[in-house]
A and B are shown apart, each in its own frame.
Chain A
Amino acid sequence: MAAKKKTADESRNDEPREPQRLQRPPAEILHAEELERLRDEDDGPRPPGWQLSLRAARTFLLGDERRRIKRKLVLPPSLIDRCLVTLATTRGLMLVGEPGTAKSLLSELIAAAVSGTSTLTIQGGAATTEDQIKYSWNYALLVNEGPSPRALVPAPLYTGMKLGKIVRFEEITRCPLEVQDAMLSMLSDRVLAVPELSSEGPSADGADPGMLYAREGFNVIATANTRDRGVNEMSAALKRRFNFETVFPILDLRAEMELVRQEAQRLLERSGVPHAPPESVIEVLVTTFRELRTGEVHDGNAIERLSSVMSTAEAVTVAHAVGVRGWFLRGDAGTPADVVECLAGTAAKDNAEDLKKIRRYLEQRVGQRQGEHWKQLYEARHLLPG
């Protein structure tokens, strides 16, 4: 469920192709038919520059069985309401949360619904520079002609402002502070200055070619990871220009189990495994993940939370791995015992502390549970390495 991050450069030239030929088609291609139908049937008022009305965008995300629109995410409807309404105002939308809580997917789907394109994406990182956000130059043309609109290579923000589209900024807190601050004027004044072009003097229509005023429909969806908090703390000035929405892991056990089951089954089909993951594995897995994630077991007893990410996405990966192990190593559908080994690799990563916590959890908590599948998990505890 975690969206694979793409940069704008990679996907700018994407033509709508057959969705199944692409490894991972973006939302606007994957759901092209639904989006088109919603656009055709949409009679609600559209915020300026939007492809869909707020209500149609909401239907796209939340689904509507009667209109054959699939539900795309397991998130509280009110969260989606708030996100959409925020984007229709003058503030940007900041999605924060643990890794693997579908922030990127949410932002991709919203961008696809609102602007019809989700590929104006900046992938934040330690090496992100202003050039990659705003614009850079084609140096051959620059040297030859001097600064001109032709020589300018637009980056996602430039394009988004020019065309009035939603720009996605992934992992904004991983960027250096000066890069984050470069966003300020664009978010508040909604203008991007290209001083190099101003020197050419006013254009024919009297406008300053060095000032790019954002068209209606432009806005920014940023995502930030709570685990990266403190890497590059955002300034108060930037925070003020965003409305914050925290995306939490799925609250409802049944909904999470259902999601893991579906997604794991889809991945297993792709890997050529004919079995769906057994119910006992899903229950053991999702319960274990939830308990290690929240630090609370079902009877209210507290345990230590893992420092590794115990997201639903990770649970899907483990369920997938369990299925693959079971089928290719033994020819069965996977057992709760497999969960132990996969836990070590996927959940604990190389963190010795987390391994210790998992061991303590298996020893002291799982051992007391009723049910065959929990017993199997307990008995396999020695498979935990170290």
Chain B
Amino acid sequence: MLHVIGIRHHSPACARLVAHVIERVRPAHVLIEGPADMNARMDELRLAHAMPVAIFTFLREEPRTDASGDHPGRRHASWTPFCSYSPEWVALTEGTRVGAEVRFCDLPAWDPAFEGRTNRYADQEGPDAGTSDDPNARVLEGPRTSKRYGEALCKRYGVDDIDTLWDHLFEGPVGASAGGASLDELAHRLATYFEHLRNDEPGGPRDAPREELMSRFAAWAVLEGSARSPARDVVLVCGGFHAPFVEKRTAEIVRAFEADGETMPMPVVAQPSESARFGSYLVPYTYRRLDAFAGYDAGMPSPGFYELVFERGAEHAAERLLEIAVERLRKKKQLVSTADLIAARTLAEALRAMRGHAALLRTDLLDALASALVKDGLDAPLPWARRGPMAPRTDPLLVEIVSALSGEREGRLDPRTPRPPLVFDVEAELAKHDLVSTAEPRTVKLSLRDEAGRARSRVLHRLSVLAIPGYVRASGPRWATDTLLDEVWALTRSTEQHPALIEASIWGATLESAALARLEDALVRSGGKLAALTEVLGAAVFVGIGGLAMQVIERVESAIANEHALGDVGTAISRLFDVFLHGELLGAQGASALERVLAASLERGLWLLEGVVGPTAPLDEAEVRAVAAMRDVIVRGPSTMAAERGRAEGVFGRRALDPQAPPGIRGAALGALWSLAQGETSEEREALAVAATKGASLPTILGDFLGGLFVVARAEALHADGLLAAIDEVLVALDDHDVLVGLPSLRLAFSFFPPREREAIAKKILARHGRSGTAAHQMLKLRVAPRDVAAGLEMDAAATSLARRFGLEDALDRGATSEGEGA
């Protein structure tokens, strides 16, 4: 007989139910929703590990072409996490204890059914959740039945979301003595809940193959168990969403085989293609990571709290948690007074009573803490009021409380556990590239010009990303596309390397995948700050090339959408563009993704550019360079960017003439427009240039305006006579005092030109004023310090004005000052 226990992953209530059923039934077989490829190595799981641990699965398939056509490459890395209170883990340990044969019965994590999933034990609220990519579309179309069922229940019980609903219905204390439901009652409730949640919907392309395999395993076990004498039962533990279907389907398969009178072979799991590298290994895990899954991969939150619920019962967990939270807050120097604590306690009890809970549940406690401790309006909703990642601007107090619930526990593997594959992979990589460190410190010089050197460099960079001691880069290019192409590394051997590698194996099974995971984590920690992301991008380009950097680039895409600093966006654009121009770094497949990110950055840059205000703001070189970077992308970037040209010109044109824009930006926008035209000067454009220059003719801003212009379009400005004429006109019109005011920024502006170009400008200006160009080079040389010149000019001006007062105006003085401008 088959007992299907539909569970929610990581639910302590379900774990208790699983233990109860196994103890009562004493089955011959226990089947667990988990990777069937681990079945041969179940003993590894039975070692004395400190929880939490996870099965880490990776797959790497290179793109290939054979008789059956082109096969795109595939890459997958995911976790199957267990903690002490996971129903799956309890099934494994309890099943072993009662002498049952314990097996996993689900597809391996590298099966295409798990494509894009990083957490096997994520909550599933509907068939193939996670396959639709446009959340907005879903909102407007209306949710699927299973989601509607959840929403209807939330409304019926007056709770905010599915997590709270789950606690309300299932996680309360068990047993009449504690005022809760009995385990049988709980089983009945769970079955009803999941039956309605599934509502007889067929499985989609992802669920159907998994459910078929689970059913086949179950049918095999049922037939095998009933053939024994006396006949023995089977317990199957799987996600509640699958349970109703698996139960029905198993019965069908069993009937079919019984009718035919055949014996059923144990199902086998198909292997990936021969070219693929794949495997599953046990790795230590942490509660922090377990709680950090977001979006479609999210499961039950707050592992630290639910461990307490499982260990001590719901009655005591809240009590203990309150202590932990308060300790944590006080350690962080947050003020939690005794009065606040009394208030929190009272509120929690009152909430519990009103909501009809037999013991304090998670949200009773959280709501009470929020009510009692928060002393101001909040900028973001309470983190537990809805699912998904914590909103930015969440109150730090609440962040602490939530992480107190999340817990600090870190898993540790039994020493007898087979060593993680990362250790072997690193050894192999080091040997292959002749980078094995010796007892004596060793210096390795690499040239990035040849492929072998680049490959060696990547290995070393990956090791340093993983913080493995003993691999230090002494010198090398700061950015992967710098012109400097040599690296020097110092290799030393230390006793810390091996433990560090084992520890790093948490990040992945191969050096490349581990470095990727590590960088991804760095990305998460960067808090979406674009500047930090750009740094990570640099590391990623050094480290991995191919898919690795691409994943980072994709993250940059979402960060860029929220970046508010034009300068940072500009840096990102020019960095991305650098990588783009060195196309070989990423390969052809990278180009399209990079193109998309570039488009998004350009889009963002234009958006931000439109919004910069500050009529007297000084020249911000980062912002001005951002304009230049955008121009470069449009002119030299992929062909799709050219389509944005019209819009960009619109933005540049508006900004160049906008008196509210910072002068540097106005100049830069004009420069960008000018250089976009590539020498085709139309009257319209020239008129615009003149208008923009005259618009910036105030001495306080003229220098910054020109600075912006020259940064973006130095070469173009040099050859655009119309533009130079406009500038000259404006400069000549300035009076002595204005020149002094504008001098420092004017000097800065012209310093963007190298001396030779400055001389060319001087020649043109002299020609305009009808003088010979031979004296031009003299104008550029100053035998005295600029400060002295300025002082001299000031003195001149004072003398002139004094002379003017007495009617002694001297034409010579005027001539001298206007010639000084060229410098």
Contacts and interface: CB of A to CB of B under 8 A. Distances in A.
Interface of A: 54-55, 58, 62, 76-79, 81-82, 84-86, 88-89, 91, 96-97, 224, 226, 229, 236, 239-240, 243-246, 248, 251, 253-254, 283, 296, 298-304, 360, 364
A81 B354 contact: yes
Contacts of A224: 377
Interface in B122-180: 135-136, 139-140, 142, 158-160, 164
Given A78-B385, A299-B561, A244 B351 contact: no
- Taking residues whose C-beta sits less than 8 angstroms from the other chain, chain B's interface range is 35 or more
Contact of B347 (A55, A82, A97): A82
Nearest to A77: B158
Given A55-B354, A82-B347, A246-B378, A301 B604 contact: yes
Contact of B370 (A82, A239, A240, A251): A82
Contact of B354 (A58, A91, A304): A58
B389 to A, nearest CB: 12
B354 A239 contact: no
A89 B347 contact: yes
B350 A253 contact: no
Interface centre among B142, B158, B339 (most CB of A within 10 A): B158
A85 B354 contact: yes
A82 B355 CA distance: 11
Contacts of B160: 76-78
Given A76-B385, A77-B158, A229 B363 contact: no
Given A82-B367, A246-B381, 16 more contacts: A85-B347, A85-B371, A86-B347, A96-B376, A243-B343, A243-B347, A244-B374, A246-B378, A251-B381, A253-B139, A253-B140, A254-B140, A299-B561, A302-B561, A360-B607, A360-B611
A233 to B, nearest CB: 10
A386 to B, nearest CB: 14
Interface of B: 135-136, 139-140, 142, 158-160, 164, 339, 343, 346-347, 350-351, 353-356, 363, 367-368, 370-372, 374-378, 381-382, 385-386, 558, 561-564, 603-604, 606-607, 610-611
A339 B385 CA distance: 32
B611 A245 contact: no
A82 B370 CA distance: 9
A96 B377 contact: yes
Contacts of B350: 54, 85, 88-89
A304 B612 CA distance: 12
Nearest to A300: B561
B414 to A, nearest CB: 42
A248 B160 CA distance: 14
Nearest to A229: B377
Nearest to A96: B377
B136 A298 contact: yes
A248 B386 CA distance: 13
B610 A302 contact: no
Contacts of A79: 385
Contacts of B377: 96-97, 224, 226, 229, 244, 246
A138 B791 CA distance: 78
A253 B386 CA distance: 14
Nearest to B558: A300
A302 B564 contact: yes
B343 A81 contact: no
Contacts of B561: 299-302
Nearest to B562: A302
A360 B346 CA distance: 50
B562 A245 contact: no
A251 B385 CA distance: 10
A239 B564 contact: no
A240 B339 CA distance: 10
B619 to A, nearest CB: 24
Contacts of A248: 381
Contacts of B378: 244, 246
A341 to B, nearest CB: 23
Contact of A300 (B355, B370, B562): B562
Instruction: Please give me the 5 A-B residue pairs with the lowest Cβ-Cβ distance, nearest first.
Output: A96-B377, A246-B378, A77-B158, A85-B350, A54-B354
B371 A243 contact: yes
A254 B143 CA distance: 11
A78 B363 contact: yes
A81 B353 CA distance: 11
A259 to B, nearest CB: 15
Nearest to A62: B158
A23 B542 CA distance: 71
A299 B356 CA distance: 40
A157 B382 CA distance: 32
Contacts of A253: 139-140
Contacts of A243: 343, 347, 371-372
A245 B354 CA distance: 18
B270 to A, nearest CB: 38
Contacts of B382: 78
10 contacts: A58-B354, A78-B159, A81-B158, A236-B375, A239-B375, A244-B377, A248-B381, A301-B603, A301-B607, A360-B610
